[in-house]
Amino acid sequence: MKNSQLLKIAEDFGSPVYIYDSEIITTQYQRLMSAFNKVKRVKINYAVKALSNISILKLMHTLGAGLDTVSIQEVKLGLAAGFPAESIIYTPNGVSLEEIETVAALGCRINIDNLSILEQFGTKHPHVPVCIRINPHVMAGGHTNISVGHIDSKFGISIHQIPHILRIVENTNMTINGIHMHTGSDILDIDVFLYASEILFETAKNFKNLDFMDFGSGFKVPYKSDDIETNIEEFGEKLSERFNTFCKTYGKELTIAFEPGKFLVSAAGQFLAKVNVVKQTTSTVFAQIDSGFNHLIRPMLYGSQHDIQNISNPTGRERFYTVVGYICETDTFANNRRIAEINEGDLLAFKNAGAYCFSMASNYNSRYRPAEVMWHNGKAHLIRKREIFDDILRNQIEIDILPQKKSIKAQVHM
């Protein structure tokens, strides 16, 4: 999108604001599909957690995606967006049996990641086929908080517990229709994916009634123009060949499934925020924006580096700025970053703000969550209103606060 279009959106919808370009999402979806065009059955289940606005989900639906969900609320959003239940896979972690049963009753595909629930679910619902999330014991991911397939991780059933899974399957007579793994996010090296895939193939051999194999996600996206990214085309070529060979020996045309979040929506999103104050201290020049980690927590949560451009003065002389927010705790977006000269009132565009940005936003400091806008067919569409004060008070219950009675203990000490 052009800077002039971004500036106009901030003028029309206010600041801060999230903007998502539907064309970039479409291109990414098609890129992933074509990387696997040598496999007959491919399913891309968009990871709703990355960006769950219903208009984004509807876009995914028109592209032909399914959904990867982790909560019953994400499932309900998917259904509200028009997805048929069977195109939604539900991969919870540590949720109650009741929630899983409710989602199963809606007709979604169920992915189970622990032996306790597997046994309980299989005993009560032997006729509902389930997928199993394994933990392949692979250390992968751009940060420890997003590495989820290693031996100490809470996710998945250990590959060393396959005999136990098989015992449960036999005892309950349940059917395992899918096998799944997700090892982490921001994984650059395709050899890591291919290595983990071999473990999934090895595991799959134990299950005779599979319909699909889900290789999760975690593809690294570029954060600036010359940044490295997962070579999705090479990965597609290599894994497709291996997958097709596996299907031959397995004796059935299985579906290959992925569940990308970042790959589909990260680059499509931009976050615009206005500079309230340029503060020169003895050591640093701070640019303080009308936002904070309440709107974009990733830099503070796991050190992600969002490219920041001054769209009000893009050709200005570059200077060093530490970009911070207005929150009452440290909320640094960038340290000593070269950015075109910033004046108070300028608008900064934070790139790669599509995934895990709005969806992790909160009302911390009782601030409003920003509006969301979708750029679609050359037009800006408001897809979520900026919150107002009523939203902050909604669901709060004011009680009459009467003077407190002194406790007996307190009186004794007087």
Residues that bind ligand PLP (CB under 6 A): 47, 50, 68, 91, 182, 185, 216-219, 259-263, 355
Cβ atoms of 17 and 10 closer than 8 Å: yes
- Whose tokens are 């790669």? That residue is 352
| Contacts (Cβ under 8 Å, ≥6 apart) of 359 | 49, 50, 51, 52
How near is the Cβ of 50 to ligand PLP at its closest, in Å?
Answer: 5
How near is the Cβ of 261 to ligand PLP at its closest, in Å?
Answer: 3
Cβ nearer to ligand PLP, comparing 50 with 256: 50
Cβ nearer to ligand PLP, comparing 43 with 274: 43
Neighbouring-strand partners of residue 80: none
- Whose tokens are 């499932």? That residue is 75
Answer left, alpha or beta for residue 169, where phi above 0 means left and psi between -120 and 50 means alpha.
alpha
C-alpha 346/C-alpha 62 separation (Å) is 37
Question: Does the annotation place 356 within a ligand binding site?
Answer: yes
- Give the Å distances, CA to CA, from 292 to 9, 143, 362: 20, 22, 10
C-alpha 276/C-alpha 374 separation (Å) is 25
The reply to whether 328 belongs to the active site is yes
> 197, 180, 204: which is closest to 90 by C-alpha?
180
How near is the Cβ of 184 to ligand PLP at its closest, in Å?
Answer: 8
How near is the Cβ of 300 to ligand PLP at its closest, in Å?
Answer: 18
| Contacts (Cβ under 8 Å, ≥6 apart) of 226 | none
C-alpha 280/C-alpha 289 separation (Å) is 14
* Tokens at 283, concatenated: 């050591």
Neighbouring-strand partners of residue 75: none
- Give the Å distances, CA to CA, from 404 to 24, 407, 414: 58, 9, 16
Question: Does the annotation place 229 within a ligand binding site?
Answer: no
Question: Does the annotation place 394 within a ligand binding site?
Answer: no
Cβ nearer to ligand PLP, comparing 50 with 77: 50
How near is the Cβ of 218 to ligand PLP at its closest, in Å?
Answer: 5
Please tell me which residue in 131, 247, 328, 357 is annotated as part of the active site.
328
How near is the Cβ of 65 to ligand PLP at its closest, in Å?
Answer: 13
* Tokens at 96, concatenated: 């109650």
Asked whether the bond before 136 is cis by omega within 30 degrees of 0, the reply is no
| Contacts (Cβ under 8 Å, ≥6 apart) of 158 | 134, 135, 137, 151
> 291, 336, 346, 288: which is closest to 314 by C-alpha?
346
Q: Which residues are annotated as a binding site for substrate?
A: 298, 302, 329, 356
Q: Report the catalytic residues.
A: 328
Binding residues for pyridoxal 5'-phosphate: 218, 356
